[in-house]
Structure 1
């Protein structure tokens, strides 16, 4: 996957049923790659979601894997068609090598400037500042001075109310979990309401 095509918004699908995940992927496929899908490894059927999602909608939405902590998880997700991978922590050299060999975007987790630079030196394409809500939007503004040109993703505690604050402060990308959709809308598989949430987030981050 080309880094230039990486979407500004990523939906983090943790705890979704297979049916819910496939519905969200279908809805996102209408938006020409503007919102990516991260399917976390602690969903029991995450590999099936990635594989089936790519088979049906892979040309219209970027699907990746999240909560990658082992080489095996990375290998399995890449085999299923994951175009990017995120982790809550640093990636091992083996994971970076595997990703580079398969043109998969790497987004490891970090929090301090030293951790961020370490992952960049190892080959990270984007650094996931996690949990972003702990350091706040100002962190991104402060760090961009001594560390210009790096790509940052804010993940953890991001919602529609604070998303623009993080973007304005210097976060290039946002990863949004349970706050992306209303829980009841998801449980009811309410396509219209879920689609409205997608539109609202896109409008908010484009301001």
Structure 2
């Protein structure tokens, strides 16, 4: 397997009520809705796998866990920006599945079903503490960070986590959260605030 390295920006929403119990229990808690549906969106600003450049490629890992994530049996699908070449899609598939090593390899034993790869135009937007990602008609999610009173203009962070994106995650609430892909559907509604996170990421293997 060729050596690889990617870095950029990550954001996610999930169906858990704010604050998601999974992070604080090392994935051992039952999600607040009894099951977890989450979309990890990654924008690669700089990266490569071997001689395949990955600069500017975005992808989304959509997952469903029927109970506590640590118990496994998760269903996972991958959405890659439609601008990516076949070589880039193959490289992202190896990275996102954990087959090429790196942080996602830790989650790989918990995946019971890989639902496939889809391609859509992915738009990843950032403005201060807001993040928004849209992938065609499959994903539409947006978050706003929770401001810290200890540091003006900065969010509250969770640190030293086991999350694959980054051990330090900004706390955020979802302002939109819609999934409809690979048989995983979710649409935030009602008064319950839903969970979100964002962070820079840097992966390599």
Tell me the TM-score normalised to structure 2 length: 0.30
> Which structure features the higher share of helix residues?
1
TM-score, normalisation: structure 1: 0.30
Bigger RCO of structures 1 and 2 (CA < 8 A, at least 6 apart): 2
